[in-house]
Structure 1
Amino acid sequence: MATDDKVTGPASCFPSIETTCGKPVAHWFALPDGVADRKPMAQVAFLEAEHGIGDGHANAPVAFHSAQGG
């Protein structure tokens, strides 16, 4: 991969999520796994309501995980 390749999509938010929310992105990936039976928007709502993460930051790990087949 060239050094000038930019990360795009949900993964581009990961550094900000870690800085703003104070936990590694792996933490935010694990939480929706616990509610995997819910639709993605319900997983986002879970992160917002139960863990105080903002909407954009909640969407990123859920969208990324969904895109990976999770």
Structure 2
Amino acid sequence: MTEKVQGPASYFPSIEKKYGQPIDHWMSHLDAVKDKKHMEQVDYLKTEHGMGHGHANAVVAVYRANNGLS
């Protein structure tokens, strides 16, 4: 039985559908601003890539968790 994805990653299917790129694409873009704070990274995805706030926040939250950033 497959467990339902919860938390920020639950947005990933809709992010991939809306923006036409896999999540790895967005994670690699965040490498360019890895030293920035959470909200600075969110703003980067919003301003440079046209991502909505909720989607950008979800991607950043998972990126930071996967890279040991607080």
What TM-score comes out, normalization by structure 2 length?
A: 0.90
Aligned length: 68
Q: What do residues 18-45 of structure 1 show as CA deviations (whole Å, max 9, x unaligned)?
A: 0001111111111111011110110000
**Which 4+ residue blocks in structure 1 deviate beyond 3 angstroms?**
none
More helix by share: 2
- CA–CA separation in structure 1 for the residues paired with 2:38 and 2:61: 8
Q: SS state of the match for residue 33, structure 2?
A: coil
Which residue is equivalent to 1:55?
53
Which residue is equivalent to 2:14?
16
- CA–CA separation in structure 1 for the residues paired with 2:39 and 2:29: 14
Structure 1: gaps of 5 or more residues: none
Structure 2: gaps of 5 or more residues: none
Cα RMSD of the aligned pairs, angstroms, is 1.0
Identity across the alignment (%): 54
What TM-score comes out, normalization by structure 1 length?
A: 0.90
